[in-house]
Amino acid sequence: MKETVKLNITKSRELFEEAITLVPGGVLGARKPGDFIDSEYPIFLETGKGCRLIDVDGNEFIDFLCGYGPIILGYREEEVDKAVYKQIKEKGFCFSLTQKFQNLLAGKLNQIVPCSEMSIFLKTGSDATTASIRIARAHTGKLKVMRCGYHGWHDWCVEMKGGIPSKFYEDVFEFQYNNLDQLEKLMETHGNDTAAIIMTPFGHPNHQKMQLPAKGFLEGVKKIADKYGAVLIYDEIRTGFRLSMGGAQKLYEVTPDLTILGKAIANGYPISVVTGKKDVMMAAESKLFISSTFFPNSEAFVAALKTIEILERDKVLEDIWEKGEGFMKSIQSLIDKHGVGAELTGVAPMFYITFKKDETGAYKGKRKDFYTQLIRKGFFFTPFHHAYISYRHTREDLDLTLKGIDESLAFIKDKYQ
């Protein structure tokens, strides 16, 4: 199989060379070239519409990263954007006091999310996960936290510990997804002092295969939380409004005490939520302080309300599941056909293609070559993060992508034979 021609990313590189003189690392966090494949992926984008992106060099891609998850409908979704424009033009969005959309969105969440009785609204996932821990500690009067999954960049949970005194995370203990025995042992030691168990209800660990909950796992975690009086928190930043309208808790029928929402709730506009049971949430009324100049800004509330309206009205998630299940079935057939050690994990709305680890380390080369071929062919995946399907991915888009995956796996087979 012939190797695909390398992309021209000259302008991206020029902008990056300028950026590193102005911004530490050039660009922030998980958007650095090293988080993709350096010299192969664009670094700066120009525009997006539907499920397609165009970078500053004019390369066009069918996108499966979806802004790292917020784009559930599509880029520049006209109905959502028009609602926001109308609010900005006719009413304004940044005031000293709150607008009515707070109440409207909180009421809507009460109808959709199983655990939702009261809500507070913030801007980012890290804001919300950190607020949920503060609420749990204030509610229980306890200190320790058990965690499973990625929960943001704040001091208590970030993996890179540079600049963070150990005292800020010394009471936080990690357990692995689907490892109930590990959590039980931790709680035998720390349970009476544990304020919260925070976890992703669907397993999407960084850089690793995705995991469905094992039989009894979520139920077992809930039972342990109840036994020790810990607040059970589901971090549904990625799974909320994507696995189901009520999130993974609705899909798997296990209800936590608190839930964190964000990303897909507003199709790209910045908003996050801590929502949950009234007796726990009421700690935020008088036992602690959570505030920001921009938390009450209404443009994101308007976007969220309109996004939810479209999701419900157009049966968006049903469409995504239907398309995604067929797409994943076809990907698995291609993986079986080529036999190069690729693995497919996840569910229809969010999935991941990885490669089986081996003693020689060849899987790293296969991964790099596979995703290099895909980006050169115009398909925007990343080797180190799972993919998403949006409403605006058409079946034609998915068929084109399958052809690209087929050719990329064939290239790997030829190269590593």
The three state secondary structure string of 118-134 is EEEEECCHHHHHHHHHH
**Domain architecture of the chain: domains with CATH:** 10-75+316-416 (3.90.1150.10), 78-313 (3.40.640.10)
Task: Report pLDDT digits (tens) over 316-335.
Answer: 999 999 999 999 999 999 99
Q: Quick one: pLDDT at residue 412?
A: 97
Task: Report pLDDT digits (tens) over 115-151.
Answer: 999 999 999 999 999 999 999 999 999 999 999 999 9
**Rounded distance, CA 389 to CA 74, Å?**
10
Q: Quick one: pLDDT at residue 23?
A: 97
Confidence of residue 290 (pLDDT cuts 50, 70, 90): very high
pLDDT value at 1 more than 80: no
Q: Quick one: pLDDT at residue 360?
A: 87
Q: Quick one: pLDDT at residue 206?
A: 83
Q: What is the pTM of this model?
A: 0.97
CB 33 within 8 A of CB 43: yes
Neighbours of 314 (CB within 10 A): 13
Give the β-pairing of 231-235 and 342-347. unpaired
Task: Report pLDDT digits (tens) over 233-254.
Answer: 999 999 999 999 999 999 999 9
Q: Quick one: pLDDT at residue 359?
A: 85
Nearest to 304 by CA among 119, 96, 43: 119
pLDDT value at 207 more than 90: no
Both tokens of 224, joined, read 């342990």
Task: Report pLDDT digits (tens) over 337-365.
Answer: 999 999 999 999 999 999 999 888 899 99
